[in-house]
Structure 1
Amino acid sequence: MQTMCQRQNLALLLILALFSLAAAAAQVSASSCSLADHIRSANTNTSIGGCPKGTSHDIIALTEDVTLSESLPPITGTITIEGNGHTISGDNQFRLFDVSGGRLTLSNLTLAEGYLNGNGGAIRLRNDGALLVVNSTFKDNWAYRGGAIAMVSGDVAAAITGSSFVGNQSELEGGVFLLHGGTLTITNSSFVDNDADRAWGGVFHAQGSRLTVTNSTFKGNEGLAGGVLAILSGRASFTHVTMVENKSDYLGGDALFRNGGAITLRNSLVSNRGPIADCDRGLNVAEGNLSADGTCSQLPIRDLKLGPLTGAPAYFPLRDGSPALDAAVADYCPATDQIGTARPQGGGCDVGAIESTTARLAPTPVVPPPPCPLFDQIVAANTDAPSGGCDAGAGHDIIELTEDIALDALLPRITSEITIEGNGHTISGEARFRIFNVDGGALTINNLTLAKGRVAANAKGGALVVQNGGRAIINNASFKFNVAKEGGAIWLATPGTSVTVNSSSFIGNRAVNLGAGGAIDLNGGRLVVNRSSFVDNRAESIGGAIATWSTGEVVVTNSTFRRNQADKGGAIFSGGAPITLTHVTMANNFATDGVALHSDESNPGRISLRNSIVYSTSPRQSAHCAGKPLAQNVGNLSSDDSCGVAAGADPLLGELTGEPAWQPLMLGSPAIDAADARFCPETDQIGTARPQDGGCDIGAVEWNAEGPAQPEGDSTELRLKDCSVTTTHALNFRDGPAGAIMGLVAEGATLGASAHTAGWFQVEYRGETGWISADYVKTDGECG
């Protein structure tokens, strides 16, 4: 029975055979006539421009570098170019070769600076054409699509061996190869620093093609999706390849991105540099791989122990103790590696492009038990097997944090049932990594802060993603300063997911790049929020705190929304999913359209607003409720009439306090005893029983004449470096947060802010340092 590698080698030999027929013609010096006339003579079997008469297979041997001054004619005959180490340059003006039905062999040649505002900067292959490249280099070529080579019909074939592709670039798809049909076989080659600038596939963009790559290295390639490969249809197979420091800048797949078709990855090393999954949207076959983030292999292995890049074609040698040593699946092991070393050298073949002759297996360690970091705790819980120094998980696993954690790598996806007891600690994404991805699993978070989670420019869910039927329950947690395009803190990615939030805070999260849902974005599933607060969250487009799309459901009860900001829906935007808001307080949010709520007119959802306060102190704000009218409007209090409530009611709210933050009702508030009893829950946001006397109060908090025990406020003081505030009202100037009044700051004053705590900014005013309310200012810069 033939092995996979034997079949791949046979395919390469068949392509080589296309070029071996009638190769008896004498060699011709490339300097005896122009390269263009050589090609014309070969195509026509005539003598053109002083060149010898063409034959059935013409061999052109270069004796000097060639810089094109004209476009070369299409190749329709059979031609071999022996480069002898020389270079053909397109001078950043011309494509180098157009193979149209012909057969072209390139050997020991550099193709550089090809340029075309079309397909294939160095070579275009079409009309049953065939290409063989041996021991050659493609460098700094550029095209609109297919920076180096474009294969643009289904009947073409190419084989490449022992070659290097460095610094090629496309404007759109395929930084090196545009594969729109045909068969491409690559062995013993390297791809370094190639780029698809504004589209998918840093090296390969494949659609309807058959791609086979063996014993090859990929380093530093970039695309908007698929740093190495983006495939839409067809088949791609990679065996014994090494992919390191590649990157997706937009959607997914730092290495491989599948939007259709089939990908097979065997005996390969994958460790890339972005926060996005290395192998996104799954592999059809994955055997014998080692992957730093675990998306291309059964388990993640963080340190592959690779040496520095060396050689041409470039490769990464293995270091002592590499987990790749002797670890490959024998069924897919080729006879040699990328540089010609026989396989295997030890007890088994090494994983990746290189078989080491010097690296030693890791000795049995005589060291204390290994640590059990959060990364390995999640792996052990997912697999019910030991990982690192962690014992095997067992069904529902509980992880107890004993210290703050700053991530230095992406955590594994959660596919099992895990509870994380935060014990008041913080996990920080360090503005580089998303914190959790619940992929079909169930995650409970208790008493934990998730801060500074961040994803790539157009990715979603800065701190937490829940997808593929996953579930999350969040209790007594804080989400602070997380950033994504959609769902600055949380993204519910797919139908069938659920997130329940209890007694938690969302502070200073952002949806950037014209994004949606400063704190939470719902693309399906069910979101339930109880006794929580959303303060100072921001979306550049829709839903300063929460945004929904066409499917799913949102239920919010006993919660506070304050100073959230968006273009539409300062607090909440509905794009179609039904939203029920009961006993919420929405005060001083900001938006161009819909200060508090916006229901999209093109795909309206059902917003039900019950026993809630909608209020703004700014006379210059737009309507509180915009878009489609509310589906239900019962027992509410609003300071304008846009929500279907009589305008002008001032709810007499006190200053923001506590965490989760809330605003008490002041004596005489029209919200007291005014709620519709049908929708009155048993307690309010801070646990006070409802009602306290004659009836339930409107809003998130029940007024208590005896003064309810108020939760201790968040006294954390955040020092600021680049923040300024402009007052929207004349404000008391105090000696501390809620402190004694020292004076008055005029309306419209712009002041530098040096610190921020819940509800207050520290500023310098007329030579004195003091505090002003954060409720009546506009901020500019990094203000926390």
Structure 2
Amino acid sequence: METKNSFISKLSTMVYAMVILILAFVAQLAFAPKAEATTYNVTPSSACSFLDALTAAATDAPVGGCDAGDADDTINVGAGTYTISADLGPLVTAGNISIIGENATNTIIDGAGFAGIIVGATGNYLIENLTFQNFVSDGDGNTLILNAAGNVTANKLIIKNNTCTSTVPVCAIALTLGPAEVNTTISNSVFYNNTAFFLIANARVPAIEGTASSPTMNVFNNTFYDNDAGIAGASNTDASPGQSVLNFYNNTIVQNKPYAEFVDLMFSVNVGPDTYFGAFLNMRNNIFYNNVSLADAPYNCGSLVGENGSLTSDGGNISNDTSCNSIFTSTNDKNSTDPLLGAYQQVGNTFVLPLQAGSPALENAVAGSPATPSIDQRGVTRPQAALADSGSYEYVYPTPDSGGSGGTLAGTGWDAKTPALIAGLLVLGGILATGYAVKRR
């Protein structure tokens, strides 16, 4: 059985191996050409396959039935299931790439046991409206998205049935491994039934030529449900000044359980060797319900914080157990409180655990930085009342009952009196008509 000491040793080995890999990617960028935009319209039967389109966009070279990519590329992915036959691989040409599905429930990328995307070039990358399933780590810490160089936004995704257990404990479904000033945003998505050491992680590693950097990961409006995995980790092993920051806000975290004994944690901050500078995991407006340890003990905030690490609450968090008592001490934090959630269910193109009427999460959110999102995971406007709700779901209050139907006036009795009034008018009309006829005689 592996120990926490061996975890730390493996973590160090993995981090430095990844630095070498990233340097190799960066070396390919020195003379990267700039060009105009290319748009790929991919379907399950198109000559330009999804994997070939991604490779063409990543390398600015023609691949299979796909034209060469340019500096700014868009891959529009039509509805269907795309089963890949190789790792999605590294994006190594500087530029901007958008990968956009029709919607996450009907546009499915099946990893079939392969690994996902490594962003090894500067630029802006959008991944949206897709399901990613059945991806497996290739041994370098990457399962689905590893951001090592760019600004990545993963939005409106369904991430399910993926595995990251074949490497050291930094292995995560979505990972920032930043030797540079990189930013990763994960929003409006659902993580379901994944198996991993951690679902998300933000790791600052030694920078190129000692350049200071502060990789940041913003994670908001997501549902984490029924995973065998820790939730999040943040670390900083760079000897040059800088920070690793993971902002975790307005998420709903329910029925998760760690994968392995030596990482029997929901949150890990600066656990490892050479933690010279700060790593910060900031939580706000989240809902935690029935997350447990390997021993099935209440474990919503099961965590380990190392040297120069910080796990803090900025308020608005709710936990239904006592494991968060020492952390959730800010405005509107609530411990040992049932958030009154509904069943896990599909709503539109995503999956949520809805807030029920009377939930203590209603109007419980607090302001902060980054700002509370203006919509919830479904796209519903926040706030629906004076203040926004905690969690990824914004409760929509029922429309007040008018008390009648068909546009009648509530409470006046007008609808009940109408038949009698009409009958009276008909009788009166008959009397008048009869009188008129008699008079003419």
Q: Which category of TM-score, normalised to the shorter sequence, fits these structures? A: 0.5 to 0.7
Cα displacement (A) at 1:244: 1.2
Paired residue secondary structure (2:54): helix
Instruction: State the match for 2:290 in structure 1.
Output: 245
What pairs up with 1:373-522 in 2 under 5 angstroms?
none
Alignment of 1:104-253 (within 5 A): 104-118=125-139, 119-126=141-148, 128-144=149-165, 145=169, 146-155=171-180, 156-170=182-196, 173-174=197-198, 176-181=199-204, 182-196=215-229, 202-208=230-236, 209-223=244-258, 224=261, 228-232=266-270, 234-249=279-294, 253=299
CA contact under 8 A between 1:305 and 1:322: conserved in structure 2? yes
Could you tell me which residue of structure 1 aligns to residue 317 of structure 2?
268
Alpha-carbon distance in 2 for matches of 1:322, 1:132: 31
Higher helix share: 2
1:62 maps to: 77
Distance 2:59 2:355 in 1: 51
Distance 2:251 2:233 in 1: 17
**What is the aligned partner in structure 1 of residue 27 from structure 2?**
none
- The reply to whether residue 76 of structure 1 matches residue 92 of structure 2 is yes
Deviation at 1:330, TM superposition (A): 5.8
Q: Secondary structure at the match of 2:55?
A: helix
Q: Structure 1, residues 680-706: CA drift from partner, whole Å, max 9, x if none? A: xxxxxxxxxxxxxxxxxxxxxxxxxxx
Give 1:42's match in structure 2, choosing from 54, 57, 74: 57
Amino-acid identity (%)? 26
Residues 96 and 123 in structure 1, CA contact (< 8 A), matched pair in contact too: yes
The CA deviation at 1:24 is 4.4
Give the deviation of 1:91 after TM superposition.
0.8
Gaps of 5+ in 2: 1-33, 205-214, 237-243, 271-277, 400-441
1:75-123: per-residue Cα shift (whole Å, max 9, x none)? 113322222232111212x102222225432121111111125212222
| 3-state SS, counterpart of residue 263 of structure 1 | strand
* 325 and 33 in structure 1: CA distance in 2 versus 1, 3 angstrom threshold: closer
Q: Within 5 Å, which residues of 2 pair with 1:552-563?
A: none
Return the alpha-carbon distance in structure 2 between the equivalents of residues 188 and 91 of structure 1: 28
Greater shift, 326-335 or 36-45, is seen at 326-335
Q: Does 1:319 align with 2:361?
A: no
2:283 is the counterpart of 1:283: no
Q: CA deviation at 1:148?
A: 1.6
Alignment partners' CA distance in 2, 1:226 and 1:252: 12
Residue 137 of structure 1, CA deviation: 1.3
Give CA-to-partner distance per residue, 1:300-331, whole Å, 9 cap, x none: x4x43333333454433333433333444466
Q: CA 1:143–1:58 in structure 2 vs 1: closer, same or farther (change >3 Å)?
A: same
Match of 1:95 in 2: 115
Residue in structure 2 matched with residue 538 of structure 1 by the alignment:
none
1:341 & 1:107 partners in 2: Cα distance? 18
Residues 29, 254 of structure 1: alpha-carbon distance in 2 compared, 3 angstrom cutoff: closer
Change over 3 Å in CA distance of 1:117–1:22 after alignment to 2: closer
Structure 1: tracts of 5 or more residues without a match: 1-20, 197-201, 293-300, 361-784
In the alignment, the residues of structure 2 paired with residue 310 and residue 161 of structure 1 have an alpha-carbon distance, to the nearest angstrom, of: 18
TM-superposed CA distance for 1:340, in Å, is: 3.7
Does the Cα contact within 8 Å between 1:226 and 1:253 map onto a contact in 2?
no
Q: Deviations over 1:480-538 (max 9, x none)?
A: xxxxxxxxxxxxxxxxxxxxxxxxxxxxxxxxxxxxxxxxxxxxxxxxxxxxxxxxxxx
* Number of residue equivalences: 316
Contact 1:247 1:255 (C-alpha < 8 Å) held by counterparts: no
In structure 2, the CA distance between the partners of 1:55 and 1:287, relative to structure 1 (3 Å rule), is same
Structure showing greater Rg: 1
Evaluate the alpha carbon distance shift between residue 286 and residue 108 of structure 1 in structure 2; reply closer, same or farther with a 3 A threshold: same
Residue 117 to residue 286, structure 1, CA distance change in 2 (3 Å): farther
Match of 2:30 in 1: none
RMSD of aligned Cα (Å):
3.1
Q: How far, CA to CA, are the matches of 1:37 and 1:314 in structure 2?
A: 30
Q: Which residue in 2 is equivalent to 1:254?
A: 300
Q: Cα distance, 1:262 vs. partner?
A: 1.6
Q: Structure 1: how far apart are the matches of 2:183 and 2:125?
A: 11
Distance 1:22 1:324 in 2: 49
Of Structure 1 and Structure 2, which has the larger fraction of its residues in strand? 1
Is 2:23 the partner of 1:25?
Answer: no
Q: 2 CA distance for matches of 1:354 and 1:314?
A: 10
Query: 1:79/1:325 Cα in 2 relative to 1: closer, same or farther (>3 Å)?
Result: closer
Relative to structure 1, is the Cα distance of residues 234 and 23 closer, same or farther in structure 2, using a 3 angstrom cutoff?
A: farther
Could you say what secondary structure the match of 2:330 adopts? strand
- The 1:66/1:287 distance shift into structure 2, 3 A limit, reads same
Q: Secondary structure at the match of 1:291?
A: coil
1:36–1:284 CA distance, 2 compared to 1 (3 A): same
Pair 1:227–1:291, CA change in 2 (3 A): farther
Give, in angstroms, the shift of residue 286 of structure 1. 2.7
What TM-score results when the alignment is normalised by the length of structure 2? 0.63
For 1:207 and 1:226, the matched residues in 2 are separated by 17
